[in-house]
């Protein structure tokens, strides 16, 4: 297909500060370039418009200062009753030989749900393979929502510990978790996990919680409880979920599936460094033992065990940096969008 002139639309909601307008405008342009496979060389011009409550800075200037050497223009929209507020819109006119991919970020999707495709990315793999680092970065680059599903199991594990309930006793676990409320909150794109209304994000990364999460995640009642929460989040927006059974059980219809793995020794080494940096008293041997135990738990449980979906792309990160894995995953997705 020959290149022809096309117009790509985009929008993002932002706060009325120089920082927010700068970050959001650049993120919007970067996501449009990435998803449409274009660069400055392809662009004819870029026109931003702002709702009249976003006046702290010019998106055109932000994008120019970020190094984009293209004709840029910003303008203010009329105030229309009932219109989405705090919004930066953009029209990128460019040469392209691909179908147009419009980009709506930070809730701006409500403006034109008809213009954007929803897709999901499943990223499964054993503990310590680097899933959350990769998923977070991929989500940011593509402007989609990240859900760390392990955090949900960890929140339940924490509750069991708080109530001194053995995490491998199905009856006791069910009784303790009968009325539990687990929720997710996003602040500026960062996920927090709520356990019975309390933000427990800072309390769920200990080895003790890891083991309780792994144990209770083998219990059907627990998995059932978290299934609809995960699916609901993926229903109305593009997402990347990391976990153990995303490609096989939670979102078997995902457009993109990856299985990220690394040897137990390499995974233990990474986790050991991470815990040591946090000041935790751990030994490498202890961490390796935990890794092997959790692998066994996660891979051999009867319900939704960790396994590579037949249609997932396997990535072994033993000899790859995090950035290499991220670029590889983003590349595959961006190519297909």
146 binds ligand DC (CB under 6 A): no
- Binding-site size for ligand DC (CB under 6 A) equals 15
Candidate residues 243, 251, 270, 325; the one interacting with ligand DC per rule CB under 6 A: 243
Of 42 and 298, CB closest to ligand DC: 298
In the bound state with ligand DC, the residue whose beta carbon lies nearer, of 303 and 334, is: 303
Single residue of 142, 195, 213, 251 touching ligand DC by CB under 6 A: 213
Cα 58 to Cα 108: distance, rounded to the nearest angstrom: 19
Stretch that binds ligand DC, among 68-76, 145-153, 193-201, 319-327 (CB under 6 A): 145-153
Interacting residue with ligand DC among 89, 159, 244, 270 (CB under 6 A): 244
Say how far apart CA 264 and CA 52 lie, in whole Å: 54
Where in 74-133 is the site for ligand DC (CB under 6 A)?
127
Please report how close the Cβ of residue 172 comes to ligand DC at its closest, in angstroms.
18
Asked whether position 290 contacts ligand DC by CB under 6 A, the answer is no
Check binding of 214 to ligand DC (CB under 6 A). yes
Question: Does 30 contact ligand DC by CB under 6 A?
Answer: no
Closest-CA residue to 10 (of 1, 18, 38, 2): 38
Q: Tell me if 247 contacts ligand DC by CB under 6 A.
A: no
Q: Of 208, 243, 206, which Cα lies nearest the Cα of 226?
A: 243
Name the segment binding ligand DC (CB under 6 A); options: 4-12, 72-80, 242-250, 263-271: 242-250
8 vs 226 by CB, closer to ligand DC: 226
Segment lying near ligand DC (by CB under 6 A), choices 55-63, 65-73, 171-179, 210-218: 210-218
294 forms part of the interface with ligand DC (CB under 6 A):
yes
* Residue 153 binds to ligand DC (criterion: CB under 6 A): yes
Q: Give residues in contact with ligand DC (CB under 6 A).
A: 127, 149-150, 153-154, 210, 213-214, 217, 243-246, 294, 298
């Amino acid at each position: 297909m020959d290149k022809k002139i096309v117009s790509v639309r985009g929008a993002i909601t932002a706060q009325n500060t120089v920082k927010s307008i700068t970050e959001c405008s650049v993120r919007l342009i970067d996501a449009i370039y990435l998803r449409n496979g274009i660069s400055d060389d392809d662009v004819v011009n870029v026109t931003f418009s702002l709702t009249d409550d976003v006046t702290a800075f010019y998106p055109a200037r932000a994008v120019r200062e970020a190094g984009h050497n293209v004709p840029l223009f910003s303008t203010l929209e009329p105030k229309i009753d009932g219109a989405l507020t705090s919004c930066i819109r953009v029209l990128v006119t460019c040469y392209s030989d691909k179908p147009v991919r419009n980009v709506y970020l930070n809730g701006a999707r409500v403006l034109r749900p008809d213009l954007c495709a929803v897709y999901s990315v499943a990223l499964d793999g054993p503990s310590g393979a680097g899933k959350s680092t990769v998923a977070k970065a991929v989500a940011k680059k593509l402007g989609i929502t990240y859900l760390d599903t392990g955090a949900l199991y960890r929140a339940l594990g924490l509750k069991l510990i708080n109530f001194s309930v053995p995490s491998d006793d199905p009856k006791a676990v069910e009784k303790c978790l009968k009325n539990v409320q687990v929720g997710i909150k996003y602040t500026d794109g960062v996920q927090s996990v709520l356990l019975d209304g309390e933000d427990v994000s800072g309390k769920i990364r200990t080895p003790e919680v890891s083991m309780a999460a792994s144990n209770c995640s083998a219990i059907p009642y627990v998995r059932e409880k978290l299934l609809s929460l995960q699916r609901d989040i993926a229903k109305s927006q593009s997402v990347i979920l990391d976990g153990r059974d995303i490609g096989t059980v939670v979102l078997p219809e995902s457009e993109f599936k990856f299985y990220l793995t690394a040897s137990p020794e390499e995974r233990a080494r990474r986790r050991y460094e991470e815990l040591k940096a946090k000041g935790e008293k751990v030994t490498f041997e202890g961490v390796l033992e935990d890794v092997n135990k959790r692998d066994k738990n996660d891979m051999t449980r009867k319900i939704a065990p960790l396994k590579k979906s037949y249609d997932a792309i396997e990535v072994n990160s033993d000899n790859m940096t995090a950035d290499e894995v991220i670029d590889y995953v983003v590349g595959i997705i961006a190519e297909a969008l």
